[in-house]
Each structure stands twice: as C-alpha cells, then as structure tokens.
Structure 1
Amino acid sequence: MSVLSTGAHLPGDPLDNDALERLAGPLPDDVLAGIEVRRRHWLIDPRTGEHRTSTSRMATAAARQALDRAGLEPADIELIVMSTASPEHLLPAAGTYVQEQLGLDAAAVIEVRAGCAGAVQALDIARRLLADGVHRTALVIGAESISPLLAPLYLGRDPFDVRMRDRLTLYTFGDGAAAMVLEAGGPGSAAGRPRPVFATRSLGGGRRPGMLINGGGTDLPLARQQARERLMEIRLDIQGTTKFGPHVFVTGLRDMLGRSGLSVADIDACVLPEGNAEYFSGEFDAAGLSPTDGARLKKIIVENLADVGATGSPAVPLALDAGWRKGTVRPGDTVLLLAIEASRYVYAGLTLTWEAPAP
C-alpha cells in the first residue's frame, strides 16, 4: 500500500484570537498559551451562526485536492472510508454524500464514527482491504463540523457574559477536512520496507468521558431532549483530560514502539492531532524513554494545532498534509501516526513508509 497524496480543506477565512475575543470575550494569557491555538477555521459565519458549507462538502473539497495531486480522477476510486463525529444526518452516511458529490454512481463506502482517532482507524481499514485485494484504490477522509455546536455559547450575548469554561471550548476547536489517496501495491510494498503496524485501544472504561457531545441521540426521549437548554452541546472534562491525557499518549507510544519493533531513533516524523509537546513531555520518562529519545521525539513531532485548532477526525491528516507540503515528511521517511482522542481516551497508531514526493 502506498499513500499517493493528501489534500485538505479549511472553511472560510482564519478566525484569530483577537477576532474571537471580540465575539466571546478574552481568555487569560496563561490559559491561551496553554491551549496553543492562535487561529482556527469555522464553517459557520462567526457573526451570525449561519452555515456556509457542510461536513460532506468540506470532505469532498479535500478529496478533490488529494486526487488532483495524485493525478487521479474520482472514477479511479473504488473505496471511500470516512471518519466524522458530525455528519449532516445520522443516515445516510456522510461518505455517501461525498461519493455523490464526486459523481460516483457506485463505490464501496465505510464510515467510522469517531473523533481524533477515527482517521487513523479509517486508514488502517482501507489499508487492509487494499492488502487483501478487495480494492485497488481508496480515499480516506476525516472531516468535522464543530462550530455549529459553539455558536449558541456566545451568539446574542454580551462577550463578557460568556462563561470562562465556554470560552475555553470556543477558543479550542476548529472545523475542516483532510483526505489521503491510497493505492494497492506500489513502492511501499517493496522488499526491505517495514510492514505497517497498527494499534488502537480505549483506556476509558469506567472513567468519565473526557469529551461528550450530547443531544440528537437515543439516550432520552426526544421530548425530554428538546426541554434542555441546548438541543446539542459539547461537554469537556478539562480536569480529567489534563490529568489522564498524557497517560493515553504515553501508553499509545509505548504500544506502537513495542508492536513495530522501532525505536524513537528509527522514526523520522511523529504526526499528532494536537501540539502540547511540552504538556506531554513530562510523561516521557514513564514511557521508558531516555532523555536522548525524549529530546529527539520533540524534534520530530509534526502538528499544526496553532493554525487550525482541535479539529477531531481531520486532525492527523491535516497535520500530515501540512508536514508533507512543508517538507517535514519526505519520501523514505518512517512515519508514526499517533492519534489521541479525549472522548473515551482512545489512541490509534499506524506506522508507514512515506513514498509521495513533495506536491
């Protein structure tokens, strides 16, 4: 299996922290520095809350860019595997709308309902189907629309009346989509190249969710859901994620190194969904990393949190796309994709040898 190209789509103009402060009030400087986000893109109009695009349309735009870079047409694609936690509808799957917008009357479509970990899980599903000979080409897509859940937190309110915990949520998240084009065989299957290794696990059994998107499900009768202050809302356990998040990262890293037989010195790029390298680095000792390995790991992390915010499903492929375009992910590199998701403290990791020349 080879990754031929990536593509990305970020809706609208970037919304920087100064503009967001005028809408929803300020965050303390130390808190703002801690979340590391300087700008993000929202599919809603920040002033009115009106939708300017959708999850599937962003996904389609990212897919078209990836196809153009790979020199392929939509008709060349046999399989679409898409991850999102924010589809337009519970059914049909958002991936089928991407199929339709690409002009494909027929295609295999699989959807993963997940956040940050989903795109890596989707990539492994596609990889295995290509390796089994079921399909020849695949599109793997992560797309998320989080801003529609954020608008009710501040619209129609004085910015200084917005609760501080709501401001933290507003400043953290962004929308977007990213795609990867895969092809069976190719240089990535050549002798001497390490086989891809995958691992995923939820560490949140018996633990309060780090992130909960409430509403629109079947937890309560619809009449009782409609009586809530907000029909849908996003809830963060900030204290829980701060304390337990590094453990998830460390456990995922240890698992991937053990399964792959790689050492940190063997990895050329470690692609993460968010930055927080300093936040996690205090836990490197618990992963059994030497000071030398810990210092190297910080140098090879590929992420773009400051420019896009926390984006959920597209986070890893957005970072991978940015790293590929900037030349920090190069042909021949051994790449570790490691996604950490707060929902039920899930990690998903995949190693691969990068083949695509710079776009």
Structure 2
Amino acid sequence: MSKERIRVGVIGAGANTTSRHIPGLQAIASVEIVSVANRTPASGQRVAQAFNIPKVAGHWSEIIDDPEIDAVVIGTWPYMHARLSIAALEAGKHVMCEARMARDAAEAHAMLAVAQAHPHLVAQIVPSPFTLRVDKTVQRLLAEGYLGDLLAIEIRAGGQFLDKDAPLHWRNDFDLSGFNTMTMGIWYEALMRWVGEAKAVTAMGKTYVKMRRGDLGLLKAVRIPEHIDVIADMACGAQMHLQVSNVAGLLGAPEAYLFGSQGTLRFCDNKLYGGQRGDKQLAEIDIPAQEQGGWRVEEEFVNAIRGRETITHTSFEDGVKYMEFTEAALRSAAEGRTILLPL
C-alpha cells in the first residue's frame, strides 16, 4: 500500500544509525524522524539536537506504543534486536533492524515468524555492504559460465595484530552479541548473494585473551573467537574456506576468491578481478554502470513501505540463514563436530 508521509522512530542511535540511517531517511521526501530513544536520555538528546528530531523518548516502549509512528529503525546491539523487532511488528510498525539480525538462530526464527504473521508490514535487516558494487556482475558471470563448475571458495579477512589490552567491546561480549563473530556473518551474507547457502559447517576458533575489562573496570570472560577458520560444504557443490581474524597482522585487505573448472574470480578493495584457463594472470573486470550497486538501504525501506519494491537487502529470510551459519560455526568449534544446516 502506498503511503506518502512516513513517520519514523529510532531506537538505538549508534554509529551506523547516525552516519547512515538517520541522514538517509531524512533525505527522502515526506519521511520524518519524529522520535529517538537511546541508551540514556542525555545521549538521546544529543542525537535529537544533531538531527533536529523533535522528541526524545525516555524509554523505547514509548516509540513502540506511539500510534503516530509508522516505522521503527532499530540500531541497538544485537541482544535487543529480537525483542524490539517483534514488539514493533506486533504494534503494526514497519521495521528496519541493524545487522547482525539477532544473537542466535532461535531469536532470528522468532523474528521471521512474527514478520510472516504480518505480511503487510515491511521487515528489513541492514545488509552486508562489502560487495554491493560488484554483486550483479559476479552473478552475471556465474550465470554465463565464466568459471565453469564452481569448485572452491576462499575468503580471508583480517590484517590487524592482537590487542591484548583493549577493553571488552560489545562485539566480544556474548551476552550482547551472541554467536556473531567478527565479520564472519557479514562475509557469509555477501557470499550467499553469489552462490547460495552452506549445508554443512566445520570450524575451529581461538580466543587468545580469555578475560577483558568491561565498562565498570571488572574482568569478564570472552567467549567470542579472535581467530576462526570455517570449512563449509556449499549447496552449490563447492567447498568454502572462510578465515576471519583479529590476530593476522599485515595480512592485507580482505579478499574473496571463487575458483572454477575454467576460471577464477577475485574480489578485493571493492574491485573484481578475473581470469580463465589459458590466461597468465588475473585482470581487473570492468563493472558496467548499469550493474554497479551501492548503499540504498533507507531508500529501499521507504520504497517497500510505499509499495514500490520488495526488500532484497536484506530480508528476514536471508537473515535467518546467516544467523544459522554463524551459530553453526561456533557450535562446531566448541563441540568439535560438523554441524548440518539448516538448524
């Protein structure tokens, strides 16, 4: 259903929300951000002043319960995503939820079930941005048979040395982040756009600093790996190796390879390279203007509300798939066995 005037409430105004979502939504005609709730009233007031938001909610429930609000942007840490998304959808509000989708697969499935029970509402997860520029070109080349049979996939992301003295970040706090591990889920989501999902996962991970200091200066155990290697049997027939590391100093820029029977594709530094049997080396592949993708998350969200397009980046259905992969990887590392997907 088309709805020209859209009133948005923001719950959790972190870096991505203030740098991307709020400016992006405010740039769209007839979209108003009318209320914000943050971790503290003071931080909410700072965001409201910076972006001319008229109301600061004392509690997130005020935004959920406000009958004048049409849509909710959820920018909190993952531990609140399921609770807030479900509450907003049940209150009749469209939802844009920050990545990662939830803490675990069970929460993600609960979010999807509620979204499916309210099909007239838009439910979007903020997408992995890494490969947006080249996705359509990679998809086309695969469809045209550039690689022949896809045989193996190699993804590596790291480049920094271990920081033993860093305080406990929310991304390393299992209570706040759940099974989400560094950029592992972000890369897997991008890979799914190219080749689909995995059907079996085997992983080994390592946490080198067992305890870090939290906000109050007290030590807390760290359960999230600082280095992980994941081997996956992909439904497309390829074998995938994904390494994500916070200890691989000087590794270089993250990169992804697709190896086929007739060709190779490499993605690195937002560029795509390729070569086929008989070539001496990889060469940069031009990304046609009509295939170049980019960040349009807020535009897609609003267009979906107005009935002009369907959410593709990223649907709750795809969010569930990457949450299952993420949980399977950590379960495999902890239990020393292969985990079959879907969970």
> Structure 2 length as normaliser, TM-score?
0.29
Higher relative contact order (CA 8 A, sep 6+): 1
Q: Look at both structures and tell me which one has the larger radius of gyration over its CA atoms.
A: 2
Q: Which structure dedicates a bigger proportion of its chain to strand?
A: 2
